[in-house]
Every structure is written in C-alpha cells, then in structure tokens.
Amino acid sequence: MAKNQHSSSPGARWERAVVIGGGYAGLVTARVLADHFDEVLVLERDPLRSRRRSPAGPAAGVRSTPRCR
C-alpha cells in the first residue's frame, strides 16, 4: 500500500496513530489500534506514576502497551 493511501480492505494496515491520554480508555484504545497500525503513540501530560501524588502539570509522558510505542 502506498504511503498515505488508505484502504478499507480486510487486513489493511496504516502507518501511525496517536492517542491523546494514557488513562484506561486511552490504553485500551491504543491496544485496539495496534491491530491496524504499524505504530501507535500514546501521549500523556502527567509523568508516569505521578497522578496520585500531584495535580496535573505541564510535564509530558509516554506510555506504551504491547506493539505500541
């Protein structure tokens, strides 16, 4: 499949997906998208493991699930 060309045929794969938010819903979404995209990037504004300790800040973090970046 040519770059940037989309197909609705079964088994078609796309290049990249970005999910905003690394909470439960974002990670589940990323996992489902991983079946259809070569790369899935999850963006999260809070650093890892800090959600319970401090309010949201400007820092950025990236979370990953199997087959996702």
Asked if the structure places residue 31 within a domain, the reply is yes
Asked if the structure places residue 7 within a domain, the reply is no
Asked if the structure places residue 69 within a domain, the reply is no
pTM over 0.85: no
Over range 38-56, report the average pLDDT. Answer: 74
Cα–Cα distance between 29 and 15 in angstroms, integer? 16
Q: In the chain, helix, strand, coil percent, each to 5?
A: 15, 25, 60
- Which of the residue ranges 6-10, 36-40, 53-57 would you say has the lowest mean pLDDT? 53-57
Domain total for the chain?
Answer: 1
Q: Residue 35: give the domain boundaries.
A: 14-63
Asked if the structure places residue 48 within a domain, the reply is yes
Over range 35-64, report the average pLDDT. Answer: 70
Asked if the structure places residue 40 within a domain, the reply is yes
